[in-house]
Amino acid sequence: MVLLCKSPVSCVSELVGAGKDIESAYWELVVKDIQDTCKLLEPIYNETDGEDGHVSLAVSPKLANDTKGTIEAAKWLHNMVGSPCVYMKIPATDESISSMKEVISLGISVNATLIFCLPKYEVVIDAYLDGLESCGMTDLSKVSSAAAFYISRVDVTLDKKLEQIGTSEALDLKGKGAVAQAVLAYQLYQKKFSGPRWERLENRGAKKQRLMWASTNVKNPSYPDTFYVNSVIGPDTISTFLVQALQAFMDHGILSRTLDAKVSEAQDMYNAIEKLGIDWSSVGSELEHEVLDSFTKSFDNVLECMQKKAMSIYSFQKHV
């Protein structure tokens, strides 16, 4: 059954009135929005041979620790949207790494998100490569992926830990760790997508999994407002922006290849933070749980809001 509605709220109330539970109504609305967006971006997707023009659709954050559930949800949503432009957005939890591999092996493109540290990023790359190698498709050119590596959130956590240590050496490293790690992530990207293993996949039409910089907005007002965007510019990468960050960059950002300009300096900073007793993997795990928890709460809040709005309208309509 398809319902045509003038507004999202009235559509939810009609879906609920027709017997849909609130989460089913939510996904029906989301799929429709994603389909409409895919149609808008399909010309870009076609013109760039699938390099650009993608739309991400996240599986429920409640499935982050459910490998099988994530696989089934990704398959269902991909089938419902029915567009080559769509990326299934899957968080890089330990349980969902296996989901990514399986989904990619089925020829479904993936946006791997919530990556906060280098060890987890390498596991994500390997899941993509394993998935491509397991894929039964002769031509892999229609399968692609992006890896969302977070930046400013990392500095927020690192800066707190450096302040707690409090030495001059620690304080001098504030605001430097996240970019240093991003620079090293790009080095890892270049390493993993070269050599005999990658060349075999490339010969089957495979595309590189592009690095996508997430959380590029500056959270510390003492840092320049274009700091992170300016610092991670390089080939084969994607930068995400909040509107304010985009406006700031358009106004006074510096468009220059910075991502691999100071690799040895980035490695020194990364090592220096580690020598102070800060474990990068632990920082990544802490942030993963923190952000995933916020995503889950937001998801629940949306469903709760939809439920209240839909039932109030439906109840009103019954008494008119």
Output the six-digit token pair for 293: 């928890």
Cα distance between residue 262 and residue 236, in whole Å: 18
* Residue 221 backbone class (left: φ over 0; alpha: ψ -120 to 50; beta: rest): alpha
Half-sphere exposure of 200 (CA within 13 A, CB side): 8
Cα distance between residue 17 and residue 136, in whole Å: 43
Residue 89 is among the residues annotated as catalytic for this protein? yes
Output the six-digit token pair for 55: 């739309």
Q: What share of the chain is helix, strand, coil (3-state, %, to 5)?
A: 60, 10, 30
Q: Which of 89, 101, 176, 192 is catalytic?
A: 89
Whether 288 and 189 have beta carbons less than 8 Å apart is answered as no
Helix/strand/coil for 110 = strand
**Helices (runs of H) and strands (runs of E) counted in the chain:** 13, 6
Q: Which residues are annotated as catalytic?
A: 89
